[in-house]
Amino acid sequence: MRYAIGLEYDGSEFLGWQIQDKGPTVQSCIETAVAKVADHPARVTCCGRTDTGVHALGQVAHFDSDSQRSERNWILGLNSQLPRGVSVLWICQVGDAFHARFSAFSRCYRYRLLNRWIRPAIDARRLSWCRVPLSADKMHQAAQSLLGEHDFTSFRASACQARHAVREIQAIEVKRDGDVVTLEVSANGFLYHMVRNIAGSLLKIGSGERPVEWLAELLDLRDREQAAPTASPEGLYFVGARYPEEFDLPTSGLAFPRGWNLS
């Protein structure tokens, strides 16, 4: 049987999603927890492999198990085996056709940065930081030029292993709330470092170093060398993914699921 799970994690506690020898990763923690609760080893595959320091509000993953556990026991069991920086928000049984990565038709990332001249202390690991005043309006205006299907070579890291650089941006928005400027992007898929590379170039526009038109020019150039450096990972969040309705996934972890015995 295949299970889909929803995950929240603090990326500052892990060396990214993917298993590696150098230290704890989200995947290694989840696989260890699933092995304990399911009582057998299991591979866990996620929707969007996040880098070191990148967070998730609604990561989606799947694994296979024939162990019989109630929804409640899966969730409580997994969370009791996981370190503090990662929580399973929901779990549901899905058909074998479901694949956390390949079935998703839309992903959403959020990039948050503190825009004040003093660095963040409380959210030092969960907010990026720009000390120069930014115009969120100009950033938003520039970002609109990325809407639709384009070749995003200019915003693709050299280590990217995707077959091609064409992606469709479905929505992109930059807004300010007090000292915090937020970029939110939805696309059918993302290239390696794509959001942080877009954020890096938008910062140059927001600070006035480059004109609003620069982002469209960069896109046309299809040259990573011309764009700004990659923005830092602390402010990046994998917000969530969308799947065909037939899989009937919860859109978010419910605060208090209907009929749940909370006692």
Catalytic annotation present for 137 = no
> Is residue 194 helix, strand or coil?
helix
As separate numbers, helices (DSSP H) first and strands (DSSP E) second, the chain gives 5, 10
Please state the closest distance from residue 224 (CB atom) to a copy of itself, in A: 28
Closest approach of Cβ 175 to a copy of itself, in Å?
16
Q: Which residues bind a copy of itself (CB under 8 A)?
A: 7-10, 55, 57, 75, 79, 84-89, 115-126, 131-133, 178-179, 253, 255-257, 260, 262
**CA-CA distance, 108 to 170, in Å (whole number)?**
9
- Cβ proximity to a copy of itself, 80 vs 226, nearer residue: 80
Chain center to CA of 69: 29
Chain centroid to CA 126: 13
At closest approach, how far in Å is the CB of 10 from a copy of itself?
Answer: 5
Q: Which of 10, 51, 64, 123 is catalytic?
A: 51
Q: How far is the CB of 131 from a copy of itself (least distance, A)?
A: 7
**Closer CB to a copy of itself, 41 or 178, in the complex:** 178
Helical axes 194-206 vs 136-143, angle rounded to 10°: 130
Q: Identify each DSSP E strand in the chain by its residue range.
A: 2-9, 45-46, 55-64, 86-94, 106-114, 128-129, 148-151, 166-177, 180-187, 236-242
What element of type H or E holds 74? helix 71-81
Catalytic residue list: 51
